[in-house]
Chain A
Amino acid sequence: MAGGALEAYVTNVQNMSASGSLRELTDISRRAVDDVLANNIQHLDHALATLSLGEHSIGILAMLTAKMKQAISQNQLEPVEAVVAQVREFVSGCNGEHIRAIPDMYCDLFHKIADYYLLKKNEPDRGITLLANAIDRLATSKSQLTSLHAALCCLCLKARNLQAALPFLDADMTDILKELNHGPQHFDTKHFLCYYYYGGMIYAALKQFDQALFFFEIAVTTPAVAVSAIMTEAYKKYELVSLIVHGEARPLPTYKSSVVQRFIKQSCNEYNRIVSVYTGATPVVDKATALREHLEDARQIFDQDGNVGLVKQVIQSLHKRNIQRLTKTFLTLSLTDVANRCRLNGGATEAEQYIVQMIESGEISAVIDQENGMVHFKDSSALVDSATVDAQMQRVMALEKVVRRLDTDAQLNPQYVSKMAKGSSGLYSTGPVLHDDEGVSIQNFIPGFHVSDMMSLS
C-alpha cells in the first residue's frame, strides 16, 4: 500500500540518518522522489512533521523535491510559493554534511526555484537571498564553485541587483563541487562557463573592467572540443573589455583550445572591425567617428548581443587613451591643443571635463591652470600610495600560498604521478627523467607501495 511505502521510507530515513548510512539513504531517496513520494504528495506535510531538520535533511530534501516537481507541474503560483517557503526554512537549518552527500538533488531543487523566479514569476530579486543561503550551506568553503553560483549570478543580473553576487565573485575559486553522479562524479561545464560569463558581465556593469576581462578570459580558455555559444558571447565581450583596459585586443593565452583558435573569430566579424579601427589596423581619419558610424551600421547585431553600452564605453575610452598618450609626450599643453590632438568636438571645455574626470578617477596625474588655459602633466608615480602597495602585496602573498597548495595537490594527484612515471620510461621519453634516486622513490620509501594503489584510493 502507498501509505505503507511512505511510512517505510520515513522509517528508513530516520534509521539510516541515525546510523550514518548516507550513501544508501541517498540512493533510495533518489528513487523515492519519482516513486513513493510522488504517489503520496498529499501525505508529505504530515511526514515532514515527523522528521528533524538537522538530523534528517536528506529525507526532507527528497520530499521537498517531490513537492516542487508536483507544484511546478500544476502551473500555478500558489503551490510553488508554498513549497518555496518550506525550502527557505529548510536552508536555514539543514545539515550541510547530509546535503553534500546528495548535491545533485539539492542543486536541482534550487535550479528549479531559480527558474521559477526568473521565468514564471518574473521576480528574480526574490530568489537572490535564498540562492545565496543555499550556496553557503552547500559549499565547504567560499572558494568552492557549485552550479548554484551561476544561477545566483543570473538572478542578480536579471534583477539588476549586482551587489549580492560580489562576495561569490570576489573569492578565488580553487575547487569545484562534483555534483552529478550519473557515471563518475563530475560537474556540468555549462555552469562553469555561465559563472564566469555572468561574473564578467557583472564586473563590467560595475566598471571593474580588470576583473571582467579575467572572467571572460577564463570562459574563453576553458578546455573544449567545440566552441559553445557561451564562449562566443564571452569572446565578444572579451575583445571590447580588452580595448577598454589595455587599448588593444590582447591575444588569448596559449593554453586555449585549438578549436577556439580556429573558429571563434569567424563569428565575431563586427567586433573584429571595432578592434581593427581602434588599434589603427584599419587606417581612418577619425577613429571615434568611424567607430560611431560602425555602431550605427551594425546596431542591430550589437543590440541583439546586448553590447551597445560596452561599444559606447569603448568609444569613450578612445578619448581617454588619447589623453593618456599625451601625458607620455608632453609636460605642459594647452587645453585647446589637447582638444585638437584628441579630436574633441567640444573644444577646450570638453578637454577640461575629460581631464578632470580622469584626475578624479586616478587615471592620470595632472593639474589645470584655468588662468592660462594650460594643463601640467605630473609623474604617474604620484598616483600610487603606500596603502595601495600594502594591500596589493598582501593579496599577492595570499595568492602565492593558494598556488603553492594547488601545486602540491597536483603533484600528489595519482593521474599526474602515473603520467610522470610513464613519461620517464622509454629511451626517447620527453617527460622529466626520474634519476637513480638512491632509494628515496615512492616505491622504495613505502615498501610494497605501487602507483596503482594511489589510483584505487581515489
Chain B
Amino acid sequence: MQEQQVTSPSAPPADPTRPADPPQPQQAQASAEEHQQGGQRQEASQAHMVSEAMQADQQTPRQPTPAVSVTVTSSTIPVRVAQLESAELDGVCSTEMYAQLLACYLAMSSWKQAQLLHWRLPASPRKSDEVKAVWAVGKPLIQRKLSQAYRAYHATAFTEALRPYMEVVVQQSRIAAFDLAARAYCKIKVENLAQLVDLDGEDLKAAIHQRGWTVASNFVAPLMADDQKDKHPSNDGILEVTTLVDYASFLEN
C-alpha cells in the first residue's frame, strides 16, 4: 500500500542545492518480485556491498593530500586553504601542511583563524621548527607589532615548502601597511613608515614616489589611493539611480 503523505503548508520548499537522494529503481515492483523469487544474483550485482566496501575502506586509509607545487600568490591561497582545512578535518594533515595552513591564514589576514589553529595544533606539530618559525612571524603580526614580525621573518631560514607562503605573508603585510598609513595618517615620520612597511633607504623612497606621496622635513604625507575612496565606484549613473529607486520603493512599501 502506498503511503499517503500530507504536506504541511509550512514545509519549506526543497533546496535545489541539497545533496540529491540516490535514484530510485525504475521498476520497483519487478525488483520486489525478484526478491521474492530469491533473485540474489541480480540483487548482488545491483546492491552496494556495504560492509565489504567499508572493510576495504578500513584497510586502505586515505593518504594525506600531497603538497601541490604551484606558484603561491594571494589568489591561489584561498584554494590551498580549502584543501588544507579539508585535510585537517580528515585527520591527514602533516606538520608541513599545518605550517602552510598557518601561513595561509596569516597571508589572508585571518588573525582569528590563525590564533585558533595555533591553539588547537596537536603537540607534535606545535613543537616543530616549521610551525615555530611561522608563529614567530605570525604572533607579532597579529599583535600589530610589524617591525618585530619583519625582524623574525628576516632572521629565519624557511623551508622550501614554506618560503613562498611566507613571502606572500610579508608582501600582503606590506601592502596592508601602506594602505593603513594612507588611511590613518596625514603626516607620518619616515622612520615610523619604514618600520611599518619594512623598507628603508632607496626602496622606501621609490615606494613613496610611486604612490605620489610627498616628503617634507622627515615627514611623509600619504595620499589615499583612488580605488580606496570607493571600493566599487559606479560607472553607470542610470543603473545607480534605478537601483536607488528600487530600494526607496521597497522601503516605502
Residues of A within 8 A of B (CB): 11, 14-15, 18-23, 45-46, 48-55, 60, 82, 85-86, 88-90, 93-97, 123, 125-126, 128-129, 136-137, 139-144, 159-164, 174-175, 205-207, 353, 355-357, 359-360, 366-372, 376, 385-387, 390, 393, 396-397, 400, 409, 412-413, 457-458
Q: A19-B1, A164-B89, A356-B184 are in contact. Are A206 and B112 (CB under 8 A)?
A: yes
Q: Is B200 an interface residue (CB 8 A)?
A: no
Instruction: Give CA–CA (A141, B233) in the complex, Å.
Output: 36
Q: Is B219 an interface residue (CB 8 A)?
A: yes
Chain B residues with CB under 8 A of A50 = 40, 43-44, 47
Chain B residues with CB under 8 A of A19 = 1-2, 28, 32
Contact B31 A162 (CB under 8 A): no
Contact A54 B22 (CB under 8 A): yes
Contact A85 B58 (CB under 8 A): yes
Contact A15 B32 (CB under 8 A): yes
Instruction: Give CA–CA (A247, B153) in the complex, Å.
Output: 39
Contact with A along B44-82 (1 / 0, CB 8 A): 101111111110011000000000000000000000000
Contact A413 B50 (CB under 8 A): no
Contact B230 A18 (CB under 8 A): no
Contact A161 B89 (CB under 8 A): yes
Instruction: Give CA–CA (A174, B11) in the complex, Å.
Output: 10
Q: Is B187 an interface residue (CB 8 A)?
A: yes
Chain B residues with CB under 8 A of A205 = 112, 116
Chain A residues with CB under 8 A of B51 = 45-46, 48-49, 86
Q: A55-B25, A96-B21, A164-B89 are in contact. Are A140 and B14 (CB under 8 A)?
A: yes
Contact A125 B18 (CB under 8 A): no
9 pairs of A and B residues whose beta carbons are closest in the complex: A54-B22, A160-B120, A141-B15, A18-B32, A387-B232, A45-B51, A53-B48, A409-B10, A367-B186
Closest chain B residue to A15, Cβ basis: B32
Instruction: Give CA–CA (A97, B35) in the complex, Å.
Output: 22
Q: Is B167 an interface residue (CB 8 A)?
A: no
Question: At the interface, is chain A mostly helix, strand, loop or mixed?
Answer: helix
Q: Is B201 an interface residue (CB 8 A)?
A: no
| Chain B interface residue number, banded | 35 or more
Chain B residues with CB under 8 A of A94 = 22
Q: Is B242 an interface residue (CB 8 A)?
A: no
Q: Is B85 an interface residue (CB 8 A)?
A: yes
Chain B residues with CB under 8 A of A45 = 51
Chain B residues with CB under 8 A of A18 = 25, 28-29, 31-32, 35
Mind listing 12 A-B residue pairs with CB under 8 Å? Answer: A20-B3, A85-B57, A97-B21, A123-B91, A125-B88, A142-B17, A163-B85, A368-B186, A370-B187, A371-B219, A386-B230, A386-B240
Instruction: Give CA–CA (A51, B52) in the complex, Å.
Output: 12
Instruction: Give CA–CA (A52, B10) in the complex, Å.
Output: 32
Q: A163-B113, A457-B6 are in contact. Are A143 and B47 (CB under 8 A)?
A: no
Q: Is B12 an interface residue (CB 8 A)?
A: yes
Closest chain B residue to A368, Cβ basis: B185
Instruction: Give CA–CA (A82, B87) in the complex, Å.
Output: 21
Closest chain A residue to B247, Cβ basis: A393
The contact of A390 among B2, B6, B57, B243, by CB within 8 Å, is B243
Q: Is B189 an interface residue (CB 8 A)?
A: yes
Contact A15 B35 (CB under 8 A): yes
Q: How far, in Å, is A129 (CB) from chain B's closest CB?
A: 5
The contact of B9 among A23, A128, A409, by CB within 8 Å, is A409
Closest chain B residue to A81, Cβ basis: B58
The contact of A371 among B14, B18, B187, by CB within 8 Å, is B187
Closest chain A residue to B50, Cβ basis: A48
Contact A53 B50 (CB under 8 A): yes
Contact B35 A90 (CB under 8 A): no
Contact with A along B182-226 (1 / 0, CB 8 A): 011111110010000000000000000000000001010000000
